[in-house]
Structure 1
């Protein structure tokens, strides 16, 4: 019988030698995507994820069940990413990896598997511009957009992950989206309108 996340974490705390590995295997792809998109650097993401999983393994007994296990794990991963960004002072203008778009959020519509050549080129160019622009945002804004817009996480859950009020998440998303729109607009031909960054939650705090 498949054990749920809470059962696995509790079993790990109780000494089950396989429970934590099973939990990590279940969520590793999503946690890796969050780390990669937040740091924008493959090596930094790998190190941050490793730091986070070690911390989660050691701190499992502190989990009290107030939030979902996935929320708890995301909080540890995002904090590890932000810590590494601050410590290493990764240059904000470095482009994000080209494969970040290979992890669409749950329920997101997938692109036509066989687009025409022109559509494929335009989609790739837009994809690269968005990723490069995202990499210029302050880490806290980037983390909010990754979780809200790219991972389709509810605002309340993102607030729990980041340890800030929902209003702060909305404000950071609004500022980040506005900055992305401005950056994307700078590279487009005159008279064209830049596509808005994908968003699952509108009406952010305008501050």
Structure 2
């Protein structure tokens, strides 16, 4: 089977009412032989899946390959989906697992990067505010420095908005493991970014501020 396209690919012909079909209906239609249903599902979630893969993998090529691996796996195993969770959660879980599998096979380690010096420069109060990089970009760069297990947990909870229980199911680990990974990851982010100091908490991106409520 060929590679699955992104949101910019030409849309496949849609059957009557296809635009209103739910994710579960599209997946069921795919299993029943609708050749366009899965492609429609891919178009619906490709952007989110690609971003999730990038934040987990750290590299564009690895993210693209992981998404393709995940979508091919989902395409082949769709009949085994039990409909006891959201189709989107199922897709996210497959993507995260594909990323982790690739990283493990490559024996990738979170390498030291020049981001520490770069982050210090970006936070320099003497710099021209008009030329400062957006806080969200700075946080994302710091996020990419975390160990992959911590990064995956924080992406799911703090950026994708999943609960601890949902993230545990997504990653296939215990809830306590999710909590500890998030706590360790947030602590490392706090040390890297002055935006997370108690006195400057209001400057943190809303996606990360939600972490206090999980």
Q: Distance in 1 between matches of 2:168 and 2:41?
A: 23
- 1:65 match: secondary structure: coil
Match of 2:209 in 1: 199
Match of 1:113 in 2: none
Is the 1:148–1:199 contact (alpha carbons within 8 Å) kept by the matching residues of 2? Answer: no
Q: Kindly tell me: are residues 161 and 43 of structure 1, through their superposed partners in 2, closer, same or farther at Cα, counting changes over 3 Å?
A: same
Match of 2:34 in 1: 16
1:90 to 108, 125, 133: 108
Match of 2:167 in 1: 158
TM-score of the two chains, using structure 1 as the length reference: 0.76
- 2:21 match: secondary structure: coil
Unaligned runs of 5+ in 1: 96-116, 186-191
Q: How does 1:50-199 map to 2 (within 5 A)?
A: 50-93=68-111, 118-124=128-134, 126-185=135-194, 198-199=208-209
How far 1:29 moved relative to its partner?
0.7
Q: Kindly tell me: are residues 89 and 175 of structure 1, through their superposed partners in 2, closer, same or farther at Cα, counting changes over 3 Å?
A: same
Larger radius of gyration: 2
Is the 1:92–1:136 contact (alpha carbons within 8 Å) kept by the matching residues of 2? Answer: yes
Is the 1:181–1:196 contact (alpha carbons within 8 Å) kept by the matching residues of 2? Answer: no
Count how many residue pairs are aligned between Structure 1 and Structure 2.
177
TM-score of the two chains, using structure 2 as the length reference: 0.73
Q: Distance in 2 between matches of 1:182 and 1:85?
A: 25
Compare 138-147 and 162-171 and name the one that shifted more: 162-171
**Alignment root-mean-square deviation, CA:** 2.5
1:7 to 25, 29, 38: 25
How far 1:72 moved relative to its partner?
0.6
How far 1:74 moved relative to its partner?
0.6
Unaligned runs of 5+ in 2: 1-16, 114-126
